Chains A and B, each alone.
Chain A
Amino acid sequence: MSAPSIVVVRDLVKTFAARGALLRAVNGVSFDVRRSETLGLVGESGSGKSTTGRILVGLEAATSGSIKLFGQEISSTGGKAALAAVRRRLQFVFQDPQNSLNPRMRAQDAIAEPLDVVGGLSRAARNDRVRELLEMVGLPSSCGDRFPHEFSGGQRQRIGIARALALRPEFVICDEPVSSLDVSMQAQIVNLLLDLQERLGLSFLFIAHDLAVVRSISARVAVMYAGSIVEIAPKRELYTFPRHPYTQALLAAVPRITPNKTRTAVVTGELPSLIDTVPGCTFHPRCPFAFERCRAEKPELREIAPGHLAACHLHETPV
Chain B
Amino acid sequence: MAEQPLLSVENLTVQFCGDAGWVNAIEGVDFAVRSGECLGIVGESGSGKSVSALSILKLHSRANARYASGVIRYGGRDLLTLPQRRLRQVRGGEIAMIFQDPMSSLNPVLTIADQIMEPLRQHQGLSARAARRQAIELLEMVRISDASHRIDDYPHRLSGGMRQRVMIAIAVACRPKLLIADEPTTALDVTIQSQILELLRELQREIGMSVLLITHDLGVVAEFAQRVVVMYAGRVVESASVAALFERPLHPYTEGLIRAVPNLDEDVHRLATIPGNIPDPSTSIAGCRFNPRCREAVKSCLAEPPALVDTGVGHFARCPPRIAAGRIV
Pick the contact of A183: B189, B257, B264 (CB < 8 A). Answer: B257
Q: Known contacts A215-B264, A216-B263, A257-B246; decide if A183 and B198 are in contact (CB<8 Å).
A: no
A42 to B, closest residue via Cβ: B190
Q: Known contacts A255-B197, A255-B222, A270-B159; decide if A212 and B263 are in contact (CB<8 Å).
A: yes
B270 at the interface (CB under 8 A from A): yes
A271 near B222 with CB under 8 A, answer: no
B304 at the interface (CB under 8 A from A): no
B218 near A257 with CB under 8 A, answer: yes
B267 near A185 with CB under 8 A, answer: no
Tell me the minimal C-beta distance from A226 to chain B in angstroms. 12
B325 at the interface (CB under 8 A from A): no
Give the contact stretch, choosing among B19-27, B82-90, B120-128, B273-281: B273-281
A105 at the interface (CB under 8 A from B): no
B159 to A, closest residue via Cβ: A270
Q: Known contacts A236-B267, A254-B264; decide if A184 and B190 are in contact (CB<8 Å).
A: no
A212 near B264 with CB under 8 A, answer: yes
CA distance A252 to B264 in the complex (A): 10
B305 at the interface (CB under 8 A from A): no
CB neighbours of B197 from chain A (8 A): 255
CB neighbours of B159 from chain A (8 A): 270-271
Q: Known contacts A182-B45, A183-B216, A186-B260; decide if A253 and B265 are in contact (CB<8 Å).
A: no
B243 near A183 with CB under 8 A, answer: no
CB neighbours of A183 from chain B (8 A): 44, 216, 218, 257, 260-261
B219 near A209 with CB under 8 A, answer: no
CB neighbours of A215 from chain B (8 A): 262-264, 267
Tell me the minimal C-beta distance from A181 to chain B in angstroms. 9
B189 near A209 with CB under 8 A, answer: yes
Q: Known contacts A184-B278, A209-B190, A216-B271; decide if A256 and B262 are in contact (CB<8 Å).
A: no
B222 near A235 with CB under 8 A, answer: no
A214 to B, closest residue via Cβ: B262
CB neighbours of B278 from chain A (8 A): 152, 182, 184-185
Quick one: which of A45-70 are within 8 Å of B by CB? 45
A266 at the interface (CB under 8 A from B): yes
Give the contact stretch, choosing among A3-11, A13-21, A188-196: A188-196
CB neighbours of A44 from chain B (8 A): 189-192
Contact-residue bracket for chain A: 35 or more
A184 near B223 with CB under 8 A, answer: no
B224 to A, closest residue via Cβ: A255
B271 near A184 with CB under 8 A, answer: no
A260 near B223 with CB under 8 A, answer: yes
B211 at the interface (CB under 8 A from A): no
- Number of residues of chain B lying within 8 A (CB) of chain A: 43
Q: Is the interface of A mostly helix, strand, loop or mixed?
A: helix
A211 near B264 with CB under 8 A, answer: yes
A268 at the interface (CB under 8 A from B): yes
Residue in B161, B219, B256 with the greatest tally of chain A CB atoms within 10 Å: B219
Mark interface residues in A193-229 (1 if CB within 8 Å of B CB, else 0).
Answer: 0100000000000000111110110000000000000
A256 near B219 with CB under 8 A, answer: yes
CB neighbours of B35 from chain A (8 A): none
CA distance A45 to B278 in the complex (A): 29
Residue in A182, A212, A258, A268 with the greatest tally of chain B CB atoms within 10 Å: A182
Quick one: which of A148-195 are within 8 Å of B by CB? 152-155, 182-188, 190-191, 194
Q: Known contacts A183-B257, A184-B273; decide if A270 and B192 are in contact (CB<8 Å).
A: yes
CA distance A236 to B268 in the complex (A): 11
CB neighbours of A259 from chain B (8 A): 222, 243, 246
A250 at the interface (CB under 8 A from B): yes
CA distance A259 to B245 in the complex (A): 12
B272 near A187 with CB under 8 A, answer: yes
Tell me the minimal C-beta distance from B93 to chain A in angstroms. 30
Pick the contact of B219: A45, A188, A257 (CB < 8 A). Answer: A257
Q: Known contacts A184-B44, A235-B267, A271-B189; decide if A253 and B222 are in contact (CB<8 Å).
A: no
B44 near A256 with CB under 8 A, answer: no
B193 at the interface (CB under 8 A from A): yes
Quick one: which of A246-304 are within 8 Å of B by CB? 249-260, 266-268, 270-271
Q: Known contacts A182-B45, A266-B194; decide if A188 and B243 are in contact (CB<8 Å).
A: no
A239 at the interface (CB under 8 A from B): yes
CB neighbours of B193 from chain A (8 A): 253, 255
Quick one: which of B208-229 are within 8 Å of A by CB? 216-220, 222-224
Residue in A155, A184, A188, A258 with the greatest tally of chain B CB atoms within 10 Å: A184
A185 near B246 with CB under 8 A, answer: no
What is the interface of chain A, defined by CB distance below 8 A to chain B?
44-45, 152-155, 182-188, 190-191, 194, 209-213, 215-216, 235-236, 239, 249-260, 266-268, 270-271
Beyond A44-B192, A212-B264, 7 additional contacts (C-beta under 8 Å) are A182-B216, A183-B257, A185-B44, A251-B264, A253-B194, A255-B197, A256-B219
The 8 closest A-B pairs by CB, nearest first: A255-B219, A182-B44, A44-B189, A212-B262, A187-B271, A253-B194, A184-B274, A187-B260
- Chosen A-B contacts, 24 in total, with CB atoms closer than 8 Å, are A154-B277, A184-B256, A184-B273, A187-B271, A187-B274, A190-B262, A190-B271, A209-B190, A210-B262, A212-B262, A212-B263, A212-B264, A215-B262, A215-B264, A236-B267, A239-B265, A252-B194, A253-B190, A255-B222, A257-B222, A257-B258, A258-B222, A266-B198, A270-B192
